[in-house]
Each structure stands twice: as C-alpha cells, then as structure tokens.
Chain A
C-alpha cells in the first residue's frame, strides 16, 4: 500500500543548510508536498512538486524529486531559529485525488 517514510530528527547549526529526506512507495503519486508544523499550530503547506518535475525552488526552499528512486528532499538554505518545526513529507496519489498520505514528520532543531 501507500507509505511515506522520513527520519524522525535532524539537528543543524544556524546558518547551515538543512536537508530533510523522504521516500515514498506509490509510483502513481501525482503531487508531493512538504508541510511545516510549529508547536501548537496546524499544518502549514510549504511547497509541493508535481511528479513530472525534478526540482522546484522557492526562495530558501529547494525541493528535489528523484522519481526513479521515489525519493524527495527539502533543502532549507541559511537555516534560522524560526525554521525549528516538524516537517511532514506527503503525497497525493493519482488513484485518489482526495486524500493526502503523510510521513511521520522530521523534527528539525537548530543549534547556535
């Protein structure tokens, strides 16, 4: 069945780049998403990529998609303390235009 996996924790130094990785199993995935969840807040849509794209850049965020390996990554350049949050990788399958399948989330912590 559909599954999305990501590592649980990542710690980076302020000013460095953060790279959060994700793998998914559904080869019919149409859209792949990154959501951000700050403490006590909801799920904020950061960015998404269509499955026929390799890369998408939006200011400090770069999404890379390797469709052959079913691997998605989110790079945050010049990581700031405000980037501390849980980042969820998610996919939307062509077989179901409704639901989004989420990974477990990666908790990003920033050290000075």
Chain B
C-alpha cells in the first residue's frame, strides 16, 4: 500500500541553524501539507501546497519557514534559523485530488533544537 515517507526520523540541531525536513508524498497525489505537534499539544496545521505554490498557511508559518517541491517526488520544509520553540514532531501529509478528502500522513520527523 502506498504511503507517505519522511526523513530523517529524528533531527537534532543547534539554535540558529537551518534545517530541511524531507517528505515523499504518495506518488499520484496533488496536494501536500505540513503539520506540527509540539510535545503535549495538538497537531497544528502549518501550510498547504498545490500546483507548485502555497495555497494556505497558518500564523505559525512565518518568514522563517519555506516549502518546496524540488522535483517530482520530494516535498521539503525548511526552517531558516531554528528556535528552541521549533522543537516538535513535524508531519507531512498528502491528498489525491480536490475530490478526495482523505489526507494521508507520514510517520513524522522529530526535530529537537538545542
């Protein structure tokens, strides 16, 4: 069964460093998402991406964040200058089409900023 994959599973970085979290969505899907879950808190929407552009973003998704689909398979989330409060589990998700309401999630990347 096709699934969303994410790498790495755990990333440790120092405050102020740039990180790139990688995702491979399900191959025929068209809509892509990033969510995050700070420990003990709710899963929060960050950004959605369709047709090579951001379709919606939350207040969390400020200028420090960017997303990219550099090729036909990868979808990345970049944090330019990490802060301690960026420590969280980051989930990628994908959806097949506008007629589908099923978002499929990856296993997540745990980001620890020290």
- Report A's interface with B, CB cutoff 8 A: 30-31, 35, 40-45, 48, 88, 90, 92, 96-105
Contacts and interface: CB of A to CB of B under 8 A. Distances in A.
A45 B104 contact: yes
Given A42-B91, A43-B43, A102-B42, A97 B105 contact: no
A35 B106 CA distance: 12
Interface of B: 4, 6, 31, 33, 35, 41-45, 48, 55-56, 58, 91, 93, 98, 101-108
A98 B105 contact: no
Contacts of B106: 42
Most-contacted residue by chain A among B93, B98, B103, B106 (CB, 10 A): B103
A42 B42 contact: no
A101 B101 contact: no
7 smallest CB-CB distances across A and B, nearest first, come from: A99-B45, A43-B105, A98-B48, A42-B107, A102-B43, A98-B56, A42-B105
B45 A101 contact: yes
Contact of B101 (A30, A43, A102): A30
A104 B6 CA distance: 23
Contacts of A30: 101
A99 B98 contact: no
A99 B33 contact: yes
A104 to B, nearest CB: 5
A98 B33 contact: yes
B6 to A, nearest CB: 8
B101 A98 contact: no
Given A88-B43, A102-B43, 16 more contacts: A31-B101, A41-B107, A42-B105, A42-B107, A43-B43, A45-B103, A48-B102, A90-B43, A98-B56, A99-B33, A99-B45, A100-B103, A102-B42, A104-B41, A104-B42, A105-B42
